[in-house]
Amino acid sequence: MDQNRKVHQFKNPVLNWIEFRLPIISYFKKEYGDYPMPKNCNYFWSFGALATITLVTMIVSGIFLAMNYTPHTDMAFDSVERIMRDVNYGWLMRYIHSNGAAFFFIIVYIHIVRAMYFGSYKYPRELNWILGVFIFLLMMATSFLGYTLPWGQMSYWGATVITNLFSAIPIIGEGLKTWLLGDYNVGNATLNRFFALHYVLPFVIFGVVGLHVAAVHVHGSNNPDGIDIKSKNDSVNFFPYMLIKDTIAMCAFGVAISAVIFFGPNLMAEVDNYIPADPLVTPAHIVPNWYLAPFYAILRAVPDKLGGVLLMFGAIVILFVLPWLDRSKVRSCNYRPIYKWFMMGFFVNFFVLGYVGMLPAEGLYLLIARVGLLYYFGFFFIITPFVGWIEKPNKLPLSISDVYAKNIAPNIGGGEKGIPSPAMQKDTNL
C-alpha cells in the first residue's frame, strides 16, 4: 500500500493510531461532523434522525424481549404476559417495543411526506428514494411478522389473512402459502419462522438504512426550497448546528412517545390481541395495524381477490418509479402552485384510506375506499406527469443564503449582521 497517502492528524494519539490503520475517524468526521447541511432546513429534516433513533431503540428492546420470549403456540401468549408481570422492567420493554413500532411508522410516514412534498426523490437522489421505499417495505414485513408473536387473536387471524393473500396467485398460490406457513394453517412452524425472520429483518433494515444515509451524503440533503448548495455560505456543519436541532426534535418525540408508553400503552393496540389465539373463533372485526390500514383499504376496495392483492402491492411498487413519473425540474412544492394542492390532496387521501381501512368494508366506507383508490393511482399515473407538463412554476430564489437571510434568520433572532428585528432586540434583553 501507499505509505505516503495523506493521513488526517488528530490531537489524540489513539485516534491517530486507529486512523492510520482504518480511516474510520475521518470518515465519521466528514459524514457526521463537517457534513454540510443546507441552512434553511426545517424540523422536517429531523425525522431521518428520529427514525434512526427509533430503529436502534426497537432493535435494543427487541433483543432483550427475545431473551424472555418463547416462540411456541402453547407458550407464546403466556411468555409475553410473563414479561409484563415478572421480568424486571419487562412491561417497559414491551410497551416501548409495541408502541415504538407504531411511532416508527408515524415518523417514517412524515419522512416520506417531506420527501414527496419537497421533491427529495428527484435527480440526483433517485436511488436514495428507491432505497427508502425498500426500507418501508422491509418495515411493513417486519411489523407484520412481529405482530404475530404475542399469539393473541389478532396475531393469529392477521397472519391467516395476510398469508392467504399469496393464495391469490394463480397456479402456485396454494403451494406457496403452505410453504410460507410450513403447515396447512398458521401453526407452530409458522410462529417459529416468523420469530426467526422478525429477529433478523431489523438488521437488514439497519444495513439498508446505512446505504440510504451514505447515498444522501453523496449529493447532500435536499431543503425546503429545493435548490442546490452553491457556496459555503449556503450551508452549516451537521455538528453542532443540525445535531442540536435533531436533539430538540428527539425531546419533543420523547415527550409524545412517553405519554403513550406510560399513560396509554394500549391505546394503539387491539383489545382482541389480549385474547389468546383460537383457531376456531374469528374475531368480529379483523383489522390490520392502523399504520398499514391504507393498503388494507385498497385491498378490500377491489371486488376481485387477485386484483385486490395486485393493486395493494402495486400501491407500494409504484412509489419506486415516482422519480420518473414526475417530469418537473422544480423540486419543492412551495414553488409549484398547482401540483402543491394535488400533493396535499394525496396526503389527505392516504389518511382517509387508512381511516376507512379500519372500518367494515361496506356501504359508504367501501365507496370512499374506491374513490380513494382511484385518486391514489390517478395521482401517480395522470396528475403527476400531466401537471409537470402544463404547470408554470414560481421563480426560484437565487441561493439558500438569500432565502435564509430574508425569511428565516429574522424569525429566530439570528443574523446579527443582518437586518435588526424585534425578535432579536427582545433576545438581547435576556
Partner 1 sequence: MAKKPKNKRRDFLQLSTVTLGAVGTAAFIWPFLKSMSPAEDTLAAGSTEVDISAIEEGQSITIKWRGKPVFIKKRTKDEIEAAKMVQAGDLRDPQDDADRVQKEEWLVLVGVCTHLGCVPLGQKVSDMKGEYDGWYCPCHGSHYDTSGRIRKGPAPKNLDVPPYTFLNDTTIKIG
Partner 2 sequence: MRLLFIICLFFSSNIFAAEMSSEKMPKHEWSFQGVTGTFDRAAIQRGYKVYREVCAGCHSMKLLYYRDLIDVGFSEAQVKVIASEYTVLDGPNDDGEMFERPARPADRFVNPYANDNEARANNNGAYPPDLSVITKARKYGVDYIYNLLLGYVEPPKGMEVGNGMWYNKWMAGNQIAMPAPIADGSVDYDDGTDNNAEQLSADVTHFLHWAAEPEMEERKNLGIKVILFFIILGTIVFLAKNRLWRDVT
Give the residues lining the site for partner 1 (CB under 8 A): 60-61, 64, 67-68, 82, 85-90, 92-93, 247, 428
From partner 1, partner 2, none, interface partner of 87 (C-beta below 5 to 8 A by class): partner 1
Positions in 386-405 near partner 2 (CB under 8 A): 401, 404-405
- Type of residue found at 200: V
Our CB check for partner 1 shows the closer of 236 and 293 to be 236
Return the number of the residue (207 or 254) whose C-beta is nearest partner 2.
254
Q: Choose among partner 2, partner 1, none what residue 61 binds, the Cβ cut-off being 5 to 8 Å by kind.
A: partner 1
Contacts 24+ apart (CB under 8 A), 126-130: 126/323, 126/324, 127/215, 128/212, 128/215, 128/216, 129/322, 129/323, 130/320
Could you give the count of Cα atoms lying within 13 Å of 267 in the half-sphere of its Cβ?
Answer: 13
The answer to whether 277 and 155 have CB atoms below 8 angstroms apart is yes
List the one residue out of 128, 24, 99 whose CA is nearest residue 253.
99
Q: How far is the CB of 56 from partner 1 (least distance, A)?
A: 11
> Least distance in Å: CB of 414 to partner 2?
5
Q: Kindly identify the residues of this chain, within the stretch 175-234, that bind partner 2 according to CB under 8 A.
A: none
Q: Which of residues 71-110 bind partner 2 (CB under 8 A)?
A: 78, 81-82, 84-85, 91-92, 95, 106, 110
Q: Pick from partner 1, partner 2, none: which does 67 bind, CB < 5 to 8 A by kind? A: partner 1
Give which of partner 1, partner 2, none residue 118 binds (C-beta under 5 to 8 Å, depending on kind): none
Site for partner 2 in 231-250 (CB under 8 A): 236, 240-241, 244-245, 247-249
Using rule CB under 8 A, residue 290 touches partner 2: yes
Q: Are 361 and 300 in contact (CB under 8 A)?
A: yes
Of residues 134 and 241, the one with the C-beta less far from partner 2? 241
Residue 409 interacting entry, from partner 2, partner 1, none, C-beta within 5 to 8 Å by type: partner 2
Instruction: Supply 270's cell numbers.
Output: 387491539
Closer CB to partner 2, 91 or 206, in the complex: 91
Contacts of partner 2 in 111-170 (CB under 8 A): none
Q: What span, in angstroms and rounded, lies between the C-alpha atoms of 52 and 395?
A: 35
Q: Which positions from 402 through 421 interact with partner 2, judged by CB under 8 A? A: 404-405, 409, 412-418
261 binds partner 2 (CB under 8 A): yes
Residue ranges that bind partner 2, judged by CB under 8 A = 39, 43, 47, 78, 81-82, 84-85, 91-92, 95, 106, 110, 236, 240-241, 244-245, 247-249, 251-256, 258-259, 261-263, 265-268, 271-272, 274-276, 284-285, 290, 351, 355, 358-359, 401, 404-405, 409, 412-418, 424, 427
